[in-house]
Structures are given as structure tokens and as C-alpha cells.
Structure 1
Amino acid sequence: MSLLPTYICPSCGELHNDWPALAFSSPLHCDELNDHDKENTATLDSDFCVIEGGETTDRFIRCTLSQKINDHCEDLQYGLWVSLSEKSFQDYEDNYNPENHEVSYFGWLCNNIPGYGSTLSIPTTVYTQKGNSRPEIVPHEDFDHAFVKDYYNGISKDEAEKRIKEMIGLTSD
């Protein structure tokens, strides 16, 4: 039984009492743009983000990450953004609809996950999925960061529920 109260999902507007996916609607790089730059330099939809910055272009895709919970039968799901190289981004975009395009790319995590300070630029491997599901990311195990350690060692149910409450704006009782 979950200790989390019901919540209204910001995506569907429905009332839920299960664990939500902790999702970011855009990469932090886009969030930090002023309104003018968002309007004139960024292109964002639910799966792709491109920011044109004069001489540079940043490219991002939306992915998932499953965090193992050591004392619970359910994993904690994240919806995160990673940056890809131009070549990898183009390959992903070109093969976005085919059912069986399974490849991996190198990517950098581009969201700050609450409770970990800066999680920007954690190196990841991005694995595309059959059936056009969002790619799954796996942080590089040799990168020294608390989030990476928790990913490989798992976290407690209490810690997962604390993260959920923080991300969806609930306060502890």
C-alpha cells in the first residue's frame, strides 16, 4: 500500500493514486531560455528539442529511465531528456517511426533530478526500443555521482516516495 495521496496528473488531468512517472517536459537548457529565445531559437515537442544558438545547435530527445526500488515490486520511472550529437540525433529522427530500429547512442543527461544537486552532463547510453517506445537511458556506471550510484544500487521505497512527493509538489504529512 502506497503512502502517497491521490494526485491530479498534469498530463492527462485525471486523478491517480499510483506512482507517477517523474517526467520533465523539456531539457533544462530550454527551460533556462528567456521567452524571446524560446520563441525564436528553440523548437520543442513531446519527443524532440532543438536549440539554435548562432554557431552551435543543441539537440535533445526525450527518454525514460527505470530506477530499481530495493524493497518494493514497482520501479520508479523517469521521463528525462538527453543531448545527442548531430549524427546520432539525425539517425534517431530519421528512424523515429520504424518498428524495429534498435541502436544505442551516447548522450548527456539534461535535467536536474531533485535531491542530487546537478545531474546535468551525466554520461548515458541511449537504447532505442522496438515498437516506437521512447528510448531507455542507462547512466555510465564508472561516472562518480550519487544518482549513478543509486541507479545501480537501488533505492528504498521511502526514498522513492519522497522523490515523487517532491516532484509532483506534495508536502510531507
Structure 2
Amino acid sequence: MTEFKCTECGQVHSEWPALAFNSPSNYHNLSDDEKSELGKLDTDFCEIHYEDQIDRFIRVTLTQKVNDACETLEYGLWVSLSEKSYLDYKENFNNPNHETGYSGWLCSNIAEYEDTSSIPCDLMTKSGNDRPEIFPHEDFDHPFVKDYYNGISKTETENRISEMIKNVG
């Protein structure tokens, strides 16, 4: 696979697209009424306001090693953060020099795996206002974590991209 037609712009691209999720699973799984009553979602932040708690999420990236290719597979995922970490990240969102780390939980379900929500991750913010990158905890026993550290094949990467394009477009 060397080219794909982008569902966003309609153009043909030769590089691999990022596999991106528009919202965390927690928000995606709400009914339309619940989304409008409880949820707040934009491109980088999501909140779900329940009676007894507020769930907070931010958009992040993950770079997957591809063993038999020069490229990597990029993911656009969501993680949940504690109130303290979320507020700190949000307060410094437009600060291009803010670099720090947080701990969070993956909140995107990646189709090729069984449930990937609640995988513990470390997050590192980046200077220049790029989205934070996540690193799953290596000692967490899950196929996604094993693949993150061991890499996946080019064929598997292309299958994931094809499935995403088929399901989105």
C-alpha cells in the first residue's frame, strides 16, 4: 500500500495516515442525549459530567514501531487524567514551553485488540504545543502493550490502515 484516498480532504496521499479517534470510548458510548446533557468535547479535551464525578480526557499520540518498514504507524488516541493533571495540562495548553509528564489510562478501543481501555500509560508533553505522546506501562500484560514494545509487521500496519479507511470512508 503506497497510496490512500483521505476521507477528510479527498486527496490521494502516499504516506501512511494516522489512526485517529474523534473521542474517547467513554464519550463515544454515550447516547446522543447523554452526550448533549453530560458531555463536552472538542478536538483536544473531553469532559463527562456525571452527578457524582467528572471524567476528564485529553487527546494524545502514540508512535507504533513497524518492524519491516522505515515508517512508523501513528495513533491519535485519548487518555483519562486525574483532575489535578487535567487542570494543569489545560492551564498550560497554549504554553509552547510547557514540558512535563502525567500518568493516565488509555480510553480508546483499538479494533485489532480486545478491550484496550484502561491500559496504564505515562504521558509526556512536548514543547511547541504538539499533543502529548503516551507510553504504555511495559509491565502491563496486554497484547497491545506487547506489540507496542516489540513492533508490528508492515502487513499488519497496512491491514489496520485499510480497515480504518473502509470503516470511515
TM-score, L = length of structure 2: 0.95
> What runs of 5+ residues in structure 1 fail to find an aligned partner?
none
Aligned twin of 2:73: 76
**Per-residue deviation, residues 1-51 of structure 1 (Å, max 9, x unmatched):** xx25522233x4433232100000000011111111111110000000000
Q: Percent identity, aligned pairs only? A: 57
Match of 2:7 among 6, 9, 12: 9
**Per-residue deviation, residues 83-134 of structure 1 (Å, max 9, x unmatched):** 0000000000000011111111011000111111100000000110000000
Q: Distance in 2 between matches of 1:166 and 1:35?
A: 25
Aligned twin of 1:125: 122
Match of 1:59 among 33, 56, 61: 56
Alignment of structure 1 residues 140-155 onto 2, 5 Å: 140-155=137-152
Q: Is the 8 A contact 1:9 1:15 kept in 2?
A: no
Aligned-partner residue type, residue 38 of structure 1: K
Q: Distance in 2 between matches of 1:90 and 1:17?
A: 38
Match of 1:38 among 35, 38, 49: 35
Change (3 A) 1:4 1:165: farther
Size of the alignment, in residue pairs? 167
TM-score, L = length of structure 1: 0.93
Secondary structure of residue in 2 paired with 1:65 = strand
Q: Distance in 1 between matches of 2:70 and 2:7?
A: 22
Aligned-partner residue type, residue 36 of structure 1: D
Aligned-partner residue type, residue 70 of structure 1: N
Which stretch has the larger CA shift, 75-84 or 160-169? 160-169
Q: Distance in 1 between matches of 2:10 and 2:21?
A: 16
Secondary structure of residue in 2 paired with 1:130 = coil
Aligned-partner residue type, residue 6 of structure 1: F
Aligned twin of 1:101: 98
Q: Is the 8 A contact 2:104 2:122 kept in 1?
A: yes
Q: Distance in 1 between matches of 2:96 and 2:15?
A: 29
Q: Distance in 1 between matches of 2:114 and 2:120?
A: 16
Aligned-partner residue type, residue 87 of structure 1: K
Q: Distance in 2 between matches of 1:118 and 1:140?
A: 16
Q: How far is the alpha carbon of 1:165 from its aligned partner?
A: 1.0
Aligned-partner residue type, residue 20 of structure 1: P
Q: Is the 8 A contact 1:4 1:161 kept in 2?
A: no
